[in-house]
Amino acid sequence: MKKSWKKILILISVPVSIPFLILLLIHLAPQPPIAAMERARHKLSLAGTEKADTYSKKLYTEAKVFYDSAMVNWQRENKTFLYVRNYDKVAKFAELSAKKSIEAAEN
């Protein structure tokens, strides 16, 4: 009788613990800097609508280069294993792109 309870407990605990383990693994995965990239894309678009590509070509080009660098680094990180990804460069380039876009739009 004792062995049967042990088997029943194991059979119940395994299916219950698997979803918790999956949720824990999802939670531990690094999050991509989506908000920073959206901000950079928005600021770059705003600078483009304000004709920064004509009046402040150098700053606008730098902003585009930083945005492209962020995208390339993001794609590179997405090719690595999920739990060893490091999105620091992506966030840094996105922030630089947003900063240069704002400068270009103001200029």
DSSP per residue, 39-99: HHHHHHHHHHHTTHHHHSHHHHHHHHHHHHHHHHHHHHHHTS-GGG---HHHHHHHHHHHH
Residue 25: predicted pLDDT? 86
Tens digits of pLDDT across the chain (107 residues): 567 888 888 888 888 888 888 888 888 899 999 999 999 999 999 999 999 889 999 999 999 999 999 999 999 999 999 999 999 999 999 999 999 999 999 98
Task: Confirm if 61 and 6 have CB atoms less than 8 A apart.
Answer: no
